[in-house]
Structure 1
Amino acid sequence: MIKVLFAASEAAPFVKTGGLGDVIASLPKELRRQGVDARVIIPKYGLIADKFTNQFWAKAVFRVPVSWRLQYAGIEQFDHDGVPFYFVDNEYYFKRFGLYGHYDDAERYTFFCRAVLEALPHLGFQPQILHCHDWHTALISVLLNAHYRQNPFYEKIRTLFTIHNLKYQGIFPKDIMINLLDLDWEYFTVHGLEFYDSVNFMKGGLIFSDLISTVSPAYAREIQHAYFGEKLEGVIASRQSDLTGIVNGIDYTTHNPSTDNKLFSNYNWQTKERKAKNKLELQKMLGMTPSADTPLVAMNTRLVEAKGLDLVVRVLDEILESNMQLVILGQGDEHYHHILWHAAWLHPEQMAVIIPYNEDIARKLFAASDLFLMPSRYEPCGIGQLIAMRYGSLPVVRETGGLKDTVRSYNEYTGEGNGFSFTNYNAHDMLYTLRRAANFFQDKTVWNKLVVRAMRADNSWRTPAQKYHELYNRLYIEGHVYKHSAVKANLEHQMDFPLTNSDYQFPAKEALYAH
């Protein structure tokens, strides 16, 4: 059985700010169903609810070197949904309001990365693979290479680094090379951590990890070019052969309209007519005109430019003039808050805006809406469109990243498709696509067929987990080949002549899998 330790900065239900937390909650659970011993390690934030922390048990206490400092670290454990979770305890670093955006984030997450590596001998669990997620854990691969490879305990450990959002990279002043990272300046080069005379954590993960993945095939292609590459496109393109795009899934146990207790009425694809009650009840709750025949468009998103809010604002009046209702849930830039609140105040029967985000209303909105709008400028994967389809709300998306991979625009001539999409980042292209979708909403034969198709699609973690399992197998095999290559090289050095294949046989692949 392959042993994998996920290292991440957040995980639901303990603490989350976005899709990363959902992935870390769900993917290991599915991997364990498929025979992988997957476990998770995250910081023990002060924000984690007492109902969880009261059940944690102490695993180990040790000191973590952060350059010249030796900092306290405790490891606590709690099993959730059959997955062992480890929590790195240090109140100075993690007992704060909010997860990110602190003045000393470089030190906080350097400590966490080093603590993960220092914790391994104390867990009673020796992973063969460290699966690291986003910039907060990117230094694990760097520090493993720089400080731990000579230790026999660590020599066979391989690393997979997953990019969830390339926009956020962890860029800090170069003096942390000595003050925090305890790295020689040979690591501060164009082929190392150097990034416009600063240190880039994300870049370190991209260069020093054995394999790289990201959260959709389209995004894997996009980030190799300047528009999406965030100035790292050259580094990523140079590792093209080691890069894989795997679309995220959703937890079908958590997101299930037939059992979701947040809904006004439960339903499935066979009883989809019950979905209408959710729409009427939500309309009443929000003070909108109750109408089963008016298309209800939903957005559940961060209210920022990257999510396409500038497109929505540009044609907001035209959307409301098109016999559609609009409900927007989320939180973000104050600029958008005020514009949307004002529009909802002017059109209370057609539009509602809920700020901040509310999980209870989010579930009701998925079930009540007919269309789910995601006009993102870029979208590494996107979870919202997958949940929407699960609840029978057809996505309207811009063709980028994971949206392009998961939503196929309806073709009235072939009958293919599971939603609606537009290509250009253009407000009137979005408006045209919304109106097109609303027209099909009136054709119940077509509409019901699309809703059933969306609800019956398999967007669970089953297939993505299989693909990650394949990457782990590849890393496991390469790790053993690396080990035996080192043995062969050592024998050649001692004998002072090269060995032929008949002199030294590499183990068969089947034998490696057997271990």
Structure 2
Amino acid sequence: MKILFAASEIYPLIKTGGLADVAGALPVALRKKGHDVKLIMPAYQGILQKVAPIQLTINLGNPFGAGDLLLLETHIPQSDTPIWLVQCQSLFEREGGPYADKNGNDFHDNHLRFAALSWAIARIAQDGKLIDWQADLVHLNDWQTGFTAAYLKSWQQAHPPIVTTVHNLRYNGSFDMGQFSETQLSPSLLSMHGMEFYGRFSALKAGLVYADAITTVSPTYAREILTPEYGDGLDGTLKALEGKLVGILNGVDYEQWSPDQDPLIPHAYQINNIEQKQANKLALLQENGLSDDLTHPIFGIVSRLTEQKGLDLVLAAMPSLLEKGARLIVLGSGDKALESGYQRLQENYPTQVSVRIGYFEDYSHRIQAGIDALLIPSRFEPCGLTQLYALKYGTLPVVRQTGGLADTVFEEGDQANGFVFQDATSEALGAAMERCMDAFYNTDQWRKKQITAMQQDHSWEAVTDQWTNLYHSLFTA
């Protein structure tokens, strides 16, 4: 099949979260299965320096009055995966991240920026003559590409089937109704059964209601978002669309995340020499200037620091465990109050707690290899990738039973590979961490869970057939 895969961030070009990892890996896995996949994303500032030379440029004109939209054909670095970059200097080449300025404030014209991206996606999806390649199917990801489905709907011409994947429903791309005319979409789409959203208009809702299939990144999350608790105002819409909703668990690129071949960790290891993990643990402690006593567990966090991730619960639960000898290593950024809370914890326990604000890819690998347990106490978690990385590294996750965490981490039975709690309270988290510490001191029990974790296969190859079956179903329905 010829698949146009659209995303607002793609690893290794740019990354703010799991979407980039998925967009960088799933198309590669599909190409290995023989599918002809082309990626498309914006040409943000600095992106052109990271890709192969531009092979072709197509001018799509100036539909939004912000400057010409150019399609630049190239390849992902060190890969034969083709990508189209949508270039418009006034919209995409800015300081800061893909969605917000350097102070963390959303760009005021995100509705226009991602309308322009979506318009370009829709143009090449509908008119293969533009690039001498006609897509059989368009795969959209999250709200930033959701307007694509609205353009294809409003143009009322034949177009390929649309799959929309929701990586996090909370980010719905809703904007003030006064900005709608700038998108040049038809006002006929502004109904409760269209893209109207509580007096605003939503790019994600457009991507849902005008798609032929909707996916989420885990089976449990697909069920959860049908409820008011997890539906973030879209549960009614999703309930009406339930017949085209499916959950497919994310995979992991084991060429990037596997301790036996990871160039970013000090000591490679695998199941048959898992004791080498201790060497990584010692190196991590020394790197952070922490007590290098290996007889107590290290808990770790690699995450956005938000209440969604339940990281306020850790601040409440952690002191009692630190008093018992545990250590904590944190990498992340986000809510300023949480950042300050973790920095205060570090000040109070300087030989047991290390906190780095920000995100550093190489350091995240060293953390996964060096800690004993990864904390993911999320209030909701569409899929989660860090727990999948942790499993491969013999690092046992401590998770709340929700979304993709519920589908991948188990405390009991033959699949036991971590520690699970139910209620989003510091007491429930603390109890799970206590059980984790007890298991850590029982070497045989701990090693058994580690081996189970490392043996599980969450590779993209293992889930690609599910995607292929979904794609084909859109042509046989």
What TM-score bracket applies, with the shorter chain setting the length? over 0.9
Q: Structure 1: which amino acid aligns with 2:120?
A: A
Q: Is the 8 A contact 1:160 1:210 kept in 2?
A: yes
Is the aligned partner of 1:83 residue 2:81? yes
- 1:191-340 correspondence to structure 2 within 5 Å: 191-340=193-342
Q: Is the 8 A contact 1:64 1:115 kept in 2?
A: no
Q: Is the 8 A contact 1:128 1:476 kept in 2?
A: no
Deviation at 1:55, TM superposition (A): 2.1
Q: Is the 8 A contact 1:114 1:143 kept in 2?
A: yes
Q: Distance in 2 between matches of 1:49 and 1:320?
A: 46
> Of 178, 181, 187, which aligns to 2:184?
181
Deviation at 1:15, TM superposition (A): 1.0
Is the aligned partner of 1:129 residue 2:137? yes
Deviation at 1:386, TM superposition (A): 0.3
Q: Out of 215-224 and 32-41, give the one that drifted further.
A: 32-41
Is the aligned partner of 1:163 residue 2:180? no
Q: Distance in 1 between matches of 2:129 and 2:200?
A: 33
Deviation at 1:70, TM superposition (A): 8.1
Match of 1:108 in 2: 113
Cα deviation per residue 1:354-412 (whole Å; 9 max; x = unaligned)?
11222222111100011111001111000000000111101110001000011111x2x
Work out which of the two has the higher radius of gyration on C-alpha atoms and give 1 or 2.
Answer: 1
Is the aligned partner of 1:61 residue 2:59? yes
Q: Is the 8 A contact 1:109 1:137 kept in 2?
A: yes
Distance 1:416 1:11, change over 3 A: closer
Q: Distance in 1 between matches of 2:334 and 2:242?
A: 34
1:305 counterpart SS class:
coil
Cα deviation per residue 1:246-293 (whole Å; 9 max; x = unaligned)?
110110101121111111111111111111000011111111111221
Q: Distance in 2 between matches of 1:163 and 1:44?
A: 22
Cα deviation per residue 1:293-341 (whole Å; 9 max; x = unaligned)?
1111111011111111110111221121232111111111221122211
Match of 1:510 in 2: none
Which segments of 5 or more consecutive residues in structure 2 lack a partner in the other structure? 100-105
1:329 counterpart SS class:
strand
Match of 1:422 in 2: 421
Match of 1:73 in 2: 69
Q: Structure 2: which amino acid aligns with 1:179?
A: E
Match of 1:6 in 2: 5
Deviation at 1:49, TM superposition (A): 5.9
Q: Distance in 2 between matches of 1:384 and 1:360?
A: 14
Cα deviation per residue 1:57-94 (whole Å; 9 max; x = unaligned)?
3331221534xx48512111222322111101111110
Q: Distance in 2 between matches of 1:331 and 1:420?
A: 25
Deviation at 1:186, TM superposition (A): 2.3
Q: Distance in 1 between matches of 2:392 and 2:426?
A: 27
Q: Distance in 2 between matches of 1:83 and 1:394?
A: 34
Q: Distance in 2 between matches of 1:204 and 1:373?
A: 35
Match of 1:94 in 2: 92
Q: Distance in 1 between matches of 2:407 and 2:62?
A: 42
Q: Distance in 1 between matches of 2:439 and 2:94?
A: 50
Q: Distance in 1 between matches of 2:370 and 2:66?
A: 54
Q: Distance in 2 between matches of 1:219 and 1:416?
A: 20
Q: Distance in 1 between matches of 2:193 and 2:122?
A: 23
1:357 counterpart SS class:
coil
Match of 1:377 in 2: 379
Is the aligned partner of 1:446 residue 2:454? no
Percent identity over the alignment?
34
Q: Structure 2: which amino acid aligns with 1:113?
A: S
Q: Structure 1: which amino acid aligns with 2:174?
A: I
Q: Distance in 2 between matches of 1:463 and 1:161?
A: 21
| Count of aligned positions | 465
Which segments of 5 or more consecutive residues in structure 1 lack a partner in the other structure? 479-515
Q: Structure 2: which amino acid aligns with 1:392?
A: G
Distance 1:40 1:415, change over 3 A: closer
- 1:483-502 correspondence to structure 2 within 5 Å: none
> Of 356, 359, 367, which aligns to 1:357?
359
Q: Is the 8 A contact 1:64 1:114 kept in 2?
A: no
**When the two structures are superposed, what TM-score results if normalisation uses the length of structure 2?**
0.95
Q: Distance in 2 between matches of 1:204 and 1:21?
A: 21
Deviation at 1:180, TM superposition (A): 2.0
Q: Structure 2: which amino acid aligns with 1:110?
A: A
Q: Distance in 1 between matches of 2:80 and 2:452?
A: 32
Match of 1:117 in 2: 122
Superposition RMSD in Å = 1.5
Q: Is the 8 A contact 1:7 1:41 kept in 2?
A: yes
1:6 counterpart SS class:
strand
> Of 387, 399, 402, which aligns to 1:397?
399
